[in-house]
Structure formats: structure tokens, C-alpha cells
Amino acid sequence: MIHVCFVYTDGTGNSAKFVGTAMLSLFENVSKPLPSVTVHILHDNTLTADVRNKFFYFAGRCNQVIKFYNVEELCADKIEQMHSLFPNANRFNNAMFYKLLVPQILPTETDKAIYLEANTVVNMDISELWRVELGENMLAAVPALSIGSDIHTQDRAVADGFIKPEDYFNPGVMLMNLKLLRGEEEKIFDGLKFAAEHKYLNLLDQTVLNYCFSTQAVKLPAQFNQFVRWARRRREPVKKGIYYYTAYTLQLDMKDPFNRLWMDYFVKTPWFDAASIGRLYEGFQQIHTKLKKSLVNLSVILNGKARGFFAVPEQIDGLKKIFHINDGEEIVALENQESLKKLIDAMKESQGKKVFFIMVRNFPFNALTQMGFVYGRDFLNGIEFLSEEQGMSLNSYPLLHAM
């Protein structure tokens, strides 16, 4: 029997579809005979009876086994102790803590388990990962360098020399040696103390697991944890392996093979139904309404005012065509560190007479508001007015998440 573990905490009411999709991909690709997988779901009180019943029905339909563990009740004291180390850290959700408690929560007769993040797709036979020999190692995971991540910016613990770059792993997919990890509870808590003492560290569970076990981890091939973001950039085809959809990489564009891979599994789960299609339609309705309001607001903002533009030099010719900029309209070019001062001076001189379209990505708009300029009156984020063909892609993740 293969044991696979997911963490489930759902503050929005829309997370079950991701766990369900990952489960279906797991079930459809696992080797026979059945049942061959036990799924363990570590959850809190956000798991509703309806969602729980869907999981039971779903696993039964696939002839597999599912078990639930309410971590909020089973480990209340431990969770409170962990939270006490980070009293003002709202960026840390319970899922990060639950992952660290897997060895203590799963039954003692379970010697090892595969941990999967909810936003994964198992496009391979999971038994290949299950058969990896752990020996005396605590776990097995894919090194971050194999995935393609810039780990020096991803985790300051590496940049500051606490963890060697070649040993640093991503814990989104792990084979865990529960038999040995059960004796390391104190060490894991020391790792939490380390994270609490270095408040600039923002990847809590990842930092703790690497701090404790980076030198006691089997290095897995990249196929066991392929970041969709990097596979997409490298224009790779969909291959056998486990795909990890990090934040906002999953979209509704079905021309993309990785979006299509996830959707092909999702539509076969109980979470794809008439209600989910209705929520998707409502999302597009809201976008349509917002667009119409934006057009009305833009006409009001520009009423009686001229336009100005702030852009990088190599894009100015293209913007002239997109926005039909005439020779009398002002363009401030981003050429060096003095360019922001030139923009501010131009805005001061024409305040109340011009609206500046800022055409620079990741522009520090607070630099303008601190000078007294008002968004929607003195300046706009011009990037938002570009179409997909012009480089402004639609972020459909919120629509997909709400389905």
C-alpha cells in the first residue's frame, strides 16, 4: 500500500478542487491492483461535511482509501506552541505548520509517506517515487537547483550561508521516512526557533525542513517535482512526472499544454459541475462590468486634460502606435536614475493639466503618491490598458480559483 499525504486548510471555500484534482491524477496513473493507495488528509475545521463526503465518494469511486485527521483538534497544543514563536506573522498559514507534523499524525505503523502539495498533478505512476530507497536518510526531495529556482533570492537562509545551495530542496513533493522523523520532533522545533530568530525568512516550512534535514535528504531527479513556471519558459512539452503549479501559474488558457493537463483531470472530479461553471460566468461578468466602469472613469479623468507618458526608450515607438500619441504629447524616457526626478518635475509643472500614463513594469507608484500626486487624477498605470498581444496577459487564476 502506498501512503500519500495532503494538507487541507480552506479559508476561501475553493481549495478542495485542487486537492481533488491532484488525487485524481494520482489515482489514474498508479499501477494496479487496486486498492493501492491510501490518501491521508491533514485538515482543520474548515473541512466541511459536504467536502468530506465528496472526498469519500471520489476515493471510493476510484477504489482507493482515504483517511482524515483533524490537526486542529489532534495537535492543538503543538499548533499553539508553534504559533507562539511567530505572534505577528500573518503570512504563515496553518498548512505550513501541519506539514511539519506529518510524522506525529500519521499512524505509527506507517513507516513512510509521500507528501504532495495540493496544486500538483501526478502525471506518472507514483509507485516510482514510492520505490526510492531512503536508507538512513530522513526524506527524499528534488534539489532546488535542479528545478531551476534562484535559491539565493528564494530563501535568505541559503544566501546567508546556513544551507548549502547544492543541498537545498523544494518540499512541495517529498518521500518522508516517518520511522526516523518521529524521533526528530525536537529538532524540527529547533528549526522553527531558528526561523523565528531570523524574521526575514519568509518560506517557513521550506526553511525549517532544509535547516534540519538538507544534508539528510536523498536528491531526487527533477521529474518528481517539475515547476510548471520553468517548464513553460523552456517551452518543454508535457512529460511523465509530477508537475507543481506554484502561485498564479495555473490559468484558463487551454492553448497552454500545462493548463490543459490540469483541466483534463479537474473536469473529471466532483468539483466540476454546473455551480462551478456558474461561478466562472459570474467572474467574467464582473470583469466585463469593471471594464465598462474603467472606460467611463477614463473619459472623466481625461476630460479637458492632455496626456503624458513615462516609458523605456526602446518601447516608445511601439507605444506611439498603440496609444496614437501625437507629436505634441509629452514623453519622459526612463534612461537612468535621474529619470524619475524628470518625471516628477514634469508632473509638478503640468499638475491638473495632464494625466501621465506610466508604462514601466514594477514601477514604484508610492514614489508619486508620497509627492502628493493622486492615482486616477494625476497618473495611471498604463500597462493595464495593453492587450494580450501588446504584452499584458489576462490573469485568469482568480477566475479558476473561484470555480
Mean pLDDT by 10 residues, the chain (403 residues): 94 87 95 86 93 92 94 90 78 80 95 96 96 96 80 64 86 96 93 82 83 94 94 93 91 93 95 89 83 79 90 91 90 92 94 93 92 93 76 68 78
Residues 266 and 327 in one domain: no
CATH of the domain at 193: 3.90.550.10
| Assigned domain for 400 exists | no
Residues 91 and 189 in one domain: yes
| Assigned domain for 197 exists | yes
In angstroms, rounded to a whole number, what is the distance separating the alpha carbons of residues 329 and 350?
Answer: 12
Residues 149 and 86 in one domain: yes
- Give residue 391's pLDDT: 53
Residues 39 and 176 in one domain: yes
- Give residue 216's pLDDT: 96
| Assigned domain for 106 exists | yes
Query: Going edge to edge, which strands form the sheet with 306-311?
Result: 330-333, 306-311, 354-358, 379-381
Residues 302 and 265 in one domain: no
- Give residue 104's pLDDT: 94
- Give residue 90's pLDDT: 63
Identify the sign of the CA torsion 169, 173, 178, 184: positive
Contact indicator for 40, 106 with CB cutoff of 8 Å: yes
Grid cell at residue 258:
500545462
Q: Could you give the 3-state DSSP secondary structure of residue 332?
A: strand
| Assigned domain for 54 exists | yes
Residue range of the domain that includes 170: 2-272
| Assigned domain for 277 exists | no
Residues 14 and 79 in one domain: yes
Residues 41 and 91 in one domain: yes
Residues 257 and 346 in one domain: no
| Assigned domain for 257 exists | yes
Residues 190 and 311 in one domain: no
- Give residue 388's pLDDT: 62
- Give residue 82's pLDDT: 86
Residues 100 and 50 in one domain: yes
Residues 181 and 130 in one domain: yes
| Assigned domain for 401 exists | no
Predicted confidence (pLDDT) per residue in 109-148, tens digit: 999 999 999 999 999 999 999 999 999 999 999 998 887 6
| Assigned domain for 286 exists | no
Domain total for the chain? 2
Residues 93 and 220 in one domain: yes
